[in-house]
Amino acid sequence: MRDISMTCGNVKCVILLILDSVGIGQMPDAHLYGDVGSDTLRNTAKAVGGLNLPYLASLGLGNLAEAFGEPILGVPAVSVPPAAYGRMAEKSPGKDTTTGHWEIAGIVLDKPFPTYPHGFPPEVIRPFERAIGTKILGNKPASGTEIINELGEEHLRTGYPIVYTSADSVFQIAAHEDIIPVSRLYEICGIARSILTGEYGVGRVIARPFIGAKGNFTRTERRKDFSMEPPSKTLLDYVKDRGMDVIGVGKIEDIFAFRGLTRSDHTGNNEDTMKSVIKFVKEDTQGLIIANLIDFDMLYGHRNDPKGYAHALEKVDGMIRELEGSLKEGDVVAVTADHGCDPTTPSTDHSREYVPLLVYGRPIEQGVFLGTRSSFADLGSTIAELLGIKTDLAGKSFKKRIMRK
């Protein structure tokens, strides 16, 4: 392994953990998105009688919450948290996964990806059906679990794929693995991606394979996202161009269209994602490990399951504690999210929320309060500077505030 310590100062590796949908309170413009009252962490805690997150609490998650008003039930503040802590506001319009991840990586969008609250127009559906050689079912906004229960039997009978969307900029295609093999479903999604450009350029096309029989359909972990390619260089590109490692874990490869990565592990759940992160940390990675922990959003937020959401948070709390044992002198961990998805509100969609920010490791000063960052991109710019890389990314670095003197 090359030694980059002379060029990176005190930091050799940044481990960026994105807890998918773990927001911490509505943003001022939440009313424009139908998200007034959304507060994923606090509302989930109330719904289950308190969260048990001892490790995240010890880092300063409780301090973060109390600094902005209401605490998280069950998550107390500590006297001097070892992490720098604060929250981040999303500057880009929207509340989807791609927008959130891209902004963390330094791209602020000036307009949102298109959404289709009434389904996709004929200008999209007709060429798609011609290209795949069959008709489609659905073509409306829906919950993923609900639409396969509604149309799964007809799909089994006809072989037609199920197309649906949500409040987010997504073109989702569901198919039973016995009817449309997963490899063919991926091909179909690739065709959709090639059609959905320009004014119809949705943020993601998503393959949603499922199994089972009527009344017991179950989505599998072989989901795959087909995102648009970022419009300019991201943090990942800059780190890779510097000759460092850029390792994506979870659906990172999908969100960034495979760009800027030197290695990838497409894990399908939180546990496998954290095991993979720990493995890469132990390999003395030098550069960036960026991971998306998907279960909160995919399994619980969109299904309005606060008990499941809380349990997933508690499991990840233990796994982040386990990560600590593998950290080395030059490692820095950043924990954040990409949007909210409050499981306690009537909506099953993402929510326009602030996201938490915890940054810690031996090079980081303890107990630094970062306030409210005006953009997720501040984190990307900070990570680049921690690694000794000059960029023109959007966002203002806070490296000088958090580094030990």
Q: What is the pLDDT of residue 168?
A: 83
Q: Residue 137 maps to which CATH number?
A: 3.30.70.1250
Tokens of 139: 């073509």
Q: Tell me how many domains the chain contains.
A: 2
Whole-number pLDDT of residue 173? 98
From 210, 227, 244, the end of a domain falls on: 227
209 and 242 together in one domain: no
Evaluate whether residue 167 is within a structural domain. yes
Q: Are residues 96 and 135 in the same domain?
A: no
What pLDDT score was predicted for residue 9?
52
Please tell me whether residues 127 and 33 are part of one structural domain.
no
Would 117 be classed as within a structural domain?
no
Instruction: Specify whether 312 is located in the same domain as 369.
Output: yes
All residue ranges of the chain with pLDDT < 50 are 1-8
Integer Cα distance of 401 and 359 in angstroms: 11
237 and 203 belong to one structural domain: no
Residues 215 and 234 in one domain: no
Structure tokens at 209: 């394979």
Select from 14, 22, 15 the least CA-distant residue to 38: 22
Q: How many CB atoms lie within 10 A of CB 329?
A: 11
Which CATH number covers residue 92? 3.40.720.10
Rounded Cα gap, residues 309 and 341, in angstroms: 10
- Is residue 115, in this structure, part of any structural domain at all? no
Distance between CA atoms of residues 161 and 211, nearest Å: 14
Contact, 142 vs 376, CB < 8 A? no
Final residue before a domain boundary, out of 192, 209, 227: 227
Structural domain ending residue among the three candidates 191, 211, 227: 227
Q: What is the pLDDT of residue 194?
A: 96
pTM for this one?
Answer: 0.89
How is residue 144 written in tokens? 């993923």
Measured CA to CA, the distance from residue 335 to residue 358 in angstroms comes to 5
Structural domain for 196, as ranges: 122-227
Instruction: Indicate if 90 and 159 belong to the same structural domain.
Output: no
Do 341 and 290 sit in the same domain of this protein? yes
Residues 155 and 223 both lie in one domain? yes
Closest by CA position to 288, among listed 322, 241, 231 = 241
